[in-house]
Amino acid sequence: LYPPVILLGRKTYDYGARRYHLPERCYTRLPVIFIHHDHEIWGQDVHEFNPERFANGICKATKNNQMAFFPFGWGPRICLGQNFANV
């Protein structure tokens, strides 16, 4: 829940801009650290160190909002070292 990359940057291109009603070539920031600390997703104990919250997988930990957990980013530019880092 405390990833080193706390803001994930993206620049919109035609497809993304149309889909999300954003201007083209617009720089966006996804606030990973805030989403990883949202009480509605993670519960009131979100600030506690509790690895057990992941005991039954990310789906259960995020109450089926698995897109709310992206310490390694997401999509075509997702971290290439994710599996290595997890091992």
Contact residues: ligand HEM, CB under 6 A = 3-5, 8, 71-75, 77-81, 84-85
For residues 56 and 62, the answer to whether their CB atoms sit within 8 Å is no
Residue 40's SS3 state is helix
For residue 56, the minimal CB distance to ligand HEM (Å) is 22
For residue 69, the minimal CB distance to ligand HEM (Å) is 12
**H helix or E strand, kind and range, residue 60:** helix 58-61
- Is 26 a known ligand-binding residue? no
Q: Which residues have C-beta within 8 Å of that of residue 18, sequence separation ≥ 6?
A: none
For residue 9, the minimal CB distance to ligand HEM (Å) is 7
Q: Which residues are annotated as a binding site for heme?
A: 79
Binding residues: 79
